[in-house]
Structure 1
Amino acid sequence: MSTSILKRATCSVPTKTYSLWGIGALQRMPCLISNPVRQRSMHTTENTSARPMNPAPRENPAHELKLPRDTNVGRKRFSDFDLAGKVFVVTGGAQVYCLDRADHPDEGWQQAQERVAPEWGGSLHYRKQDVGDAEGLDKLIASIADENQGIDGVIAAAGVQHISPTVEYEAQEVAHMLSINYTGVFMTAKSAAKQMIKYKKRGSICLIASISGLKANRGLISPVYNSSKAAVIQLARNLAMEWSPIKKDGTGGIRVNCISPGHILTPMVKENFDEVPGLREEWENEIMMGRLAETQEFKGAALFLLSNASSYMTGNNLVIDGGHSSW
């Protein structure tokens, strides 16, 4: 069963968003080299016959992210965070299509729907979709893109947890967790990027990782979960390298970043507390702020990464953990 840390996230700006709860193209980068230079040996490496150059202006998406000249920024609050007129596939949001394995949405979805303000132009929808069904996922995201002439962003947040000593893991348990925590996120990003490339959208992809991908969780034996989140962080770097440059055919310009939350009071974490007595107190003592996070405390970070406010940010991992990793 997958869990989304952004389950109750809402957006306070007019936007068109599709949400994939529990789910979470590929083109080569252009070769950025100039004229050959004199060869020379460098220790044991191969000889170098070319030197890297800065991207050509066409390959720099920054100028395309600027607001129109007639936009009166002085009379518009937080214009860089404005998502008006864009289409997003997220795990919780404003105008949203929520996709999950369950036949019906849960209470959190209903609460998010109640917070949608008609005057902002938002709406909330629900679709049944399993992250493990890569073909179905791809078709559904494609249908969303075709309906709206593209997708502007996605948040891939699939994740399950299993607490067990390493020597007790069975191969199928490892494969199941990785199929959701890593492959599900991978395929979500891939399907979204395919549509961004098809419609030549300068999109933003946000992968939900965890501080568990950066360190071992004291008191919690979860080697597969932690390593799967480390893989997600590395995946973001590689996708950013591949998709961020703008190609000559106008595709690309897709930013990819991670959010690595600290310990959050999600249903999955609460189950961990039931399984490991004293774990909550131990975690709270290790956090500078002395408490665990609530899911709604990550809405702003998601909005930042999806909007023009982060237009020069790609391949990064945004750690939000209450100071846990700063000791």
Structure 2
Amino acid sequence: MASISTPVLPEFSLKNRVIVVSGGARGLGLTQAEALLEAGAIVHALDILPEPSPEFDVVAVRAEKELGTSLTYHRIDVREEQELNELIKDIADKHGRLDGLIAAAGIQQETPALEHSGADFDRILGVNVTGVFLTAQAVARQIIRLGQKSGSLVLIASMSGTVANRGLICPAYNSSKAAVIQLARNLASEWGKFGIRVNTISPGYIVTAMTDMLFVKFPERREYFANGNMLGRMSTANEFRGAAVFLLSEASSFMTGSDLRIDGGHCAW
């Protein structure tokens, strides 16, 4: 009989791996960062907020006191190419390695297409597509520079990159998420020779502080969104923890150029 100390499913371990999480100051990014910490990773969170959410400090303390690892915050705009590359290089140099990325930084705006300004459209694409590309590029450069044999990049897309959301008018946001899915495929095709895998996660509707505010303005959407999928409810950020660990670990070592859609069956109707 195996000892109780024998690792269970060791391919899911992220022990000592160094992972960057953009959009990691709060919400889905922070939830996924905590999952990586629990799997043993050292995590550096990037976000544009002057200070991370209060929950961030709780997770950071837990990382140090309970998990024997660390969670570090860096304030940065992912569209600032030179500053971003310098920061990612500093992180890689500090640890002598860089193993992965969750690119979760993103913004959303609900505006009908006939009323959408070009400036706002460009701003959304700038963060959601260009910012994701620049972050992935900066991390890949360091993996290659350090001569590592493998790396895993996870780009947060959305089911909105596959379908148009009925009742939710977000032409720029939805277009940006479709672009992220296609971007991942192309990066995977280029960087596979370096052992770098690139995949996307496409969540369905998630209960967040942002959606709660939306429901105050449009209370009918709470039920409408829930009834749009096969499970009859919205998801929580915690339901995407396992997907993050899976894609960044050896458990998914032969998976690249793929989209992991977790939408409660919304797109399967």
User: Could you state the TM-score of these two structures normalised by the residue count of structure 1?
Assistant: 0.73
Once the two structures are TM-superposed, the CA of residue 266 in structure 1 deviates from its matched residue by 2.2
Per the alignment, residue 234 of structure 1 pairs with: 182
Per the alignment, residue 293 of structure 1 pairs with: 235
Q: Could you say which structure has the larger radius of gyration?
A: 1
Once the two structures are TM-superposed, the CA of residue 103 in structure 1 deviates from its matched residue by 2.1
Q: 5 Å matches for 1:1-327?
A: 75-90=6-21, 91=24, 92=30, 93=33, 94=37, 95-116=42-63, 118=65, 120-201=67-148, 202-245=150-193, 252-327=194-269
SS at match of 2:201: strand
Once the two structures are TM-superposed, the CA of residue 242 in structure 1 deviates from its matched residue by 0.3
SS at match of 2:52: coil
Cα RMSD, aligned residues only:
1.7
Q: Are residues 115 and 324 of structure 1, via their aligned partners in 2, closer, same or farther at CA, if it must alter by over 3 Å?
A: farther
Task: Among all aligned residue pairs of Structure 1 and Structure 2, give the percentage whose two residues are the same amino acid.
Answer: 48
- 1:246-277 deviation digits (Å, cap 9, x = unpaired): xxxxxx00000000000001233333334434
Once the two structures are TM-superposed, the CA of residue 215 in structure 1 deviates from its matched residue by 0.3
Once the two structures are TM-superposed, the CA of residue 322 in structure 1 deviates from its matched residue by 1.4
What runs of 5+ residues in structure 1 fail to find an aligned partner? Answer: 1-71, 246-251
Q: How many residues align?
A: 249
Do 1:286 and 1:324's aligned partners in 2 also have CA atoms closer than 8 Å?
yes
User: Could you state the TM-score of these two structures normalised by the residue count of structure 2?
Assistant: 0.88
Q: Are residues 274 and 186 of structure 1, via their aligned partners in 2, closer, same or farther at CA, if it must alter by over 3 Å?
A: farther
Q: Are residues 117 and 287 of structure 1, via their aligned partners in 2, closer, same or farther at CA, if it must alter by over 3 Å?
A: farther
Opposite residue 262 of structure 1, the aligned amino acid is G
Q: Are residues 275 and 181 of structure 1, via their aligned partners in 2, closer, same or farther at CA, if it must alter by over 3 Å?
A: farther
Once the two structures are TM-superposed, the CA of residue 116 in structure 1 deviates from its matched residue by 2.2
SS at match of 1:206: strand
Report the Cα distance in structure 1 between the residues aligned to 2:11 and 2:247, rounded to whole angstroms: 11
Report the Cα distance in structure 1 between the residues aligned to 2:8 and 2:265, rounded to whole angstroms: 30
Once the two structures are TM-superposed, the CA of residue 114 in structure 1 deviates from its matched residue by 4.0
Report the Cα distance in structure 2 between the residues aligned to 1:149 and 1:171, rounded to whole angstroms: 42
Do 2:151 and 2:196's aligned partners in 1 also have CA atoms closer than 8 Å?
yes
Report the Cα distance in structure 2 between the residues aligned to 1:182 and 1:196, rounded to whole angstroms: 21
Report the Cα distance in structure 2 between the residues aligned to 1:102 and 1:150, rounded to whole angstroms: 26
Report the Cα distance in structure 1 between the residues aligned to 2:162 and 2:124, rounded to whole angstroms: 18
More helix by share: 2
Do 1:196 and 1:203's aligned partners in 2 also have CA atoms closer than 8 Å?
yes
Per the alignment, residue 27 of structure 2 pairs with: none
Report the Cα distance in structure 1 between the residues aligned to 2:128 and 2:210, rounded to whole angstroms: 13
Do 1:161 and 1:268's aligned partners in 2 also have CA atoms closer than 8 Å?
no
Report the Cα distance in structure 1 between the residues aligned to 2:153 and 2:211, rounded to whole angstroms: 25
Once the two structures are TM-superposed, the CA of residue 119 in structure 1 deviates from its matched residue by 5.3
SS at match of 2:235: coil
What runs of 5+ residues in structure 2 fail to find an aligned partner? Answer: 25-29
Report the Cα distance in structure 1 between the residues aligned to 2:49 and 2:224, rounded to whole angstroms: 33
Q: Are residues 274 and 184 of structure 1, via their aligned partners in 2, closer, same or farther at CA, if it must alter by over 3 Å?
A: farther
Report the Cα distance in structure 2 between the residues aligned to 1:268 and 1:138, rounded to whole angstroms: 30
Per the alignment, residue 18 of structure 1 pairs with: none
